Each structure stands twice: as structure tokens, then as C-alpha cells.
Amino acid sequence: MAVYTHLGAEELARLIAEYDVGQLVSAKGIAEGVSNSNWLVETTQGRFILTMYERRIDTGDLPFFLGLLDHLAERDCPVPATIHDRSGGIYRLIDGKAVALIEFLPGVSPNAPTPAQARAVGAALAEVHLAAREFPLDRTDGLAPRNTLAILERCSSALASIDADLPRALEKGREVVAAWPDDLPRSVIHSDLFPDNVLMLGEQVTGMIDFYFACNGSMAYDLAVTHAAWCFDKRGERFDPAIGQALVEGYCDVRPLGDAERAALPLLAQGACLRFVASRAEDWLDTPADALVTRKDPMDFVRRWDFYVENGARVFA
């Protein structure tokens, strides 16, 4: 959450002039996105989000990410469309860094979602899955369970330094990977649909954002990721069954789950936990304890994982 690069007013005005969006009126750096700089830009014609891709994102992936936004927005999913420049380009370069101009969508991210909101999010996720099936580009899931297990294996000797109870995630992870189903129905999936990445007005989803983990993958796995992200308190100590039920029901209202998908959900949810345990453990070990960035505790997802092991069959019945 930061603005990593300073963009001067004159530079911004020159950039905006490359798009058919009117004159620059205002630009505020916004504290969103973990690896990009973002500005909320106002012109004489409207408001836009300007994103500068800083780290972690490969420019070669931008046609996938930005093309996906266009594909979904054209199919009436609540996703911001990419604004193309005067020559049709979806991104431009400033000092060697890629920047894209993206539609601004209203709404705020729910902090304490209600079941009605979770139902709407489930339905919106299913709509994205259906609409994305015909998206022509591909992107491999770099954070599939076998990959996230490999991340965790690399951290293994240091895991106990984070929490004495963390090393057992390795054995649990190996079991998840061994049992992982590879034949569930696939589409392009969001893979990171935390409440932060959803904008809502009341009970309506007005925006799904931050598709920078999107990839080809199992649709039911994406639902499981969303379940793990929405149905617990921050520390993963309390599961909210009403939220969980509404999320899955909302999803199934739009795209009913097949029997194999439903049966797999308890395991898929554990795979989701493995992924966030691994990425958080890696970030924790990479971040000095006294850095200004708050480190996210991997144990928050070890607790969710334990919950799914014990209650998954019942919760997803």
C-alpha cells in the first residue's frame, strides 16, 4: 500500500494527453495495491485509476490482465475496463515502467460483510467465471498448491522462527498436494478475491479489482479462496457460517457446482490456506521486523486450515 514513484503534474498531463479523456483536473496518489503505484485521476471527462506497475508484475502479463478486464467489462461483469490510448495501446511506458489507465468504479470495500453482501460476491464471482471461459489468452497459475508448497519448503528451516506451530504446515501441505484434483472445470480465476478487492454499494457489487493474480485454474478453487478470505475474522479464529453459506449459495445461483467440485471444496479450501501460509511466510522472512510495512501473520491461515480439516466436509455439505 504505497505510491512508489513520484509522477509530476507535467508528466501526468503529458500522459493523459495520450488518451482521449479530456484535460487533467486532479491526481491523487492512492494507498492501494501492494506492488503497484496508483493514482486517482480526474479529467474534464471523468475519473480514472492510473496504475504504474512497479515490482512483481511482468510486463508480458499485461495483455492478459488488462485484456481480461476489457473482456469481462464487455460482458457486464462489474470490472473496470482498460482505457486504450489514442493508438489503441492498453499500456504505455514512462521511464521504462508500464502504466495503464483504468476505469474508476464507485463503491467501498466491506470491512464487516453481511450475508447479503457475501451472496452478491458469490454471484459476481460465478459471473466472472462464466464470462471468462471464452477469454482467449492463457496464464499459468504460479501459485498452484505444488508451487506454493515449494515456496514453503524453501522457507522450511526458518518457519519455526515465525511460530513454533508453523512447521507442521509442511506435512499438511504435502498431503494437500498429493490429493489435489486436476480435473475440475476450469476458467480464468481471480485467485485473490479478498474483501479489499471488492467494491460495494450496499448489497450490490460495483467493482471487482486487482486481477493481478488472475490465471487459468479450477473455478471451485477460486470459490474456496474467496471462502477462506471472507468467512473468518482476521486471525482465522472465528468462522461465520452465515457468510459461508451465503457465499456458496450466491455462487451456485449463477453457476451450480458439479458433484466433484462440491466434494473437493474442503480440500480446495485447504489448498487456499496453504497458498496464503506460504506467501505470508515468505514475505515475513523477507521483511525486516522494524520495517514500516505490517507483516501479515501466516498463522492466520494455519488456523483457517485447521478449521477446514476439521469442519470442511460439514461446512461445504
Using CB under 8 A as the binding rule, the residues of this chain from 146 to 175 that contact its own copies are: none
| 181 lies in the site for its own copies, by CB under 8 A | no
Cα separation, 126 vs 121, whole angstroms: 9
- Which of 9, 164, 289, 317 is in the footprint of its own copies by CB under 8 A? 9
Rg (CA), the chain: 20
Binding part of the chain for its own copies, among 95-103, 106-114, 260-268, 304-312 by CB under 8 A, reads 106-114
Centroid of chain to Cα 126? 15
**Residue 8 within binding range of its own copies, rule CB under 8 A:** yes
Q: Considering only 24-32, 93-101, 269-277, 302-310, which stretch makes contact with its own copies by CB under 8 A?
A: 24-32
* DSSP conformation class of 210: -
| Three cell numbers written together for 204 | 450490490
Closer to its own copies by Cβ: residue 292 or 317: 292
116 binds its own copies per the rule CB under 8 A:
no
Angle at 309 between CA 307 and CA 311, to 5 degrees: 60
- What is the separation of C-alpha 256 from the centre of its chain, rounded to a whole number of angstroms? 22
Binder of its own copies out of 35, 46, 108, 241 (CB under 8 A): 108
Q: Does 136 bind its own copies (CB under 8 A)?
A: no
Q: Where are the alpha helices (DSSP H) in 5-48?
A: 9-16
Question: How is residue 239 annotated by DSSP?
Answer: B
Q: Which is nearer to its own copies, 31 or 164 (CB)?
A: 31
In whole angstroms, the minimum distance from the beta carbon of 15 to its own copies comes to 12
- Residue closest to 225 by CA, chosen among 252, 202, 248, 208: 248
DSSP H or E run through 130: helix 115-132
Asked if residue 204 binds its own copies (CB under 8 A), the reply is: no
Instruction: Rule CB under 8 A: say whether 292 interacts with its own copies.
Output: yes
| CB nearer to its own copies: pick between 137 and 201 | 201
* C-beta of residue 53 within 8 angstroms of C-beta of residue 99: yes
Q: Does 25 bind its own copies (CB under 8 A)?
A: yes
Q: Any contact of residue 110 with its own copies (CB under 8 A)?
A: yes
1 binds its own copies (CB under 8 A): yes
What is the rounded distance in angstroms from the CA atom of residue 252 to the CA atom of residue 263?
14
Residue 123 and residue 203 in contact, taking contact as beta carbons nearer than 8 Å? no
**107 touches its own copies by CB under 8 A:** yes
Interface with its own copies (CB under 8 A) = 1-3, 6, 8-13, 24-32, 40, 42, 106-112, 199-201, 288, 290-293
